[in-house]
Amino acid sequence: MDEPTLFTKIIRGDIPSSMVAEGNEWYAFLDINPHRPGHTLVVPKEQAQRISELSVDSRRALMDGIIEVQRRLSIEFETTDFSVNLNDGPLAGQEVPHVHFHVIPRAPEGTQRPLWKPPGDSTEPDFSLLAELAERLQAH
Ligand code: AMP
């Protein structure tokens, strides 16, 4: 068995996270350094670095997870539009070696709520705001 990745430790609950939703094969939680409010990571419970290494069941379920996360974020952020990004391997900018889709709600410029840090802002994440948002998203 490979060493557990950071995201496997999060899925197991060994490291805390702000959960958004969960399925049998996937787990979704708020990114601690959100590019925009609601920035969520959707990860397979199966540990793999690239989507090509995932089992068929796991990669299919992952798309269900993305859609479920979008459903919750659309209620909270009143939008139907999202950036859905995958860095599939280190040369593509992947920092955590465990498949993760970034799901980021998009709204017209100037209407974003707070809870995101501009690029380059290295202050600590606001964990209480993340926890409050996660609680609302779990209820949607
Ligand atoms: P990537 O650059 O595509 O590998 O994205 C990794 C993402 O994981 C970054 O957006 C980080 O902010 C995020 N991240 C790292 N550690 C944690 C953590 N403990 N909880 C939530 N998100 C994290």
Mutate to test the pocket of ligand 1, among 96, 121, 133 (most ligand atoms within 8 A of CB): 96
pLDDT for res 126: 84
3-class state of residue 26 by DSSP: strand
Hey, what domains does the chain have and what are their CATH numbers? 6-139 (3.30.428.10)
C-alpha 41/C-alpha 31 separation (Å) is 6
Run of H or E residues at 66: helix 56-77
Ligand 1 center to residue 82 CA distance, Å?
Answer: 18
- Known catalytic residue: 100? yes
Torsion of CA 66, 72, 78, 81, to 10 degrees: 0
pLDDT for res 2: 82
pLDDT for res 111: 66
pLDDT for res 1: 60
Residue 18: which residues within 8 A CB-CB, separation 6 or more?
Answer: 29, 30, 127, 130, 131, 133, 134
Burial 31-62 (b: 16+ CB within 10 A, else e): beebebbbbbbbbbbbbbbeeeebeeebbebb
Q: What type of residue sits at position 42?
A: V
User: CA angle at residue 67 from 100 to 105, to 5 degrees?
Assistant: 75
- Under-70 pLDDT residues of the chain: 1, 110-122
Q: Which pair of structure tokens corresponds to residue 95?
A: 């920092």
Query: Which listed residue (35, 39, 98, 100) is catalytic?
Result: 100
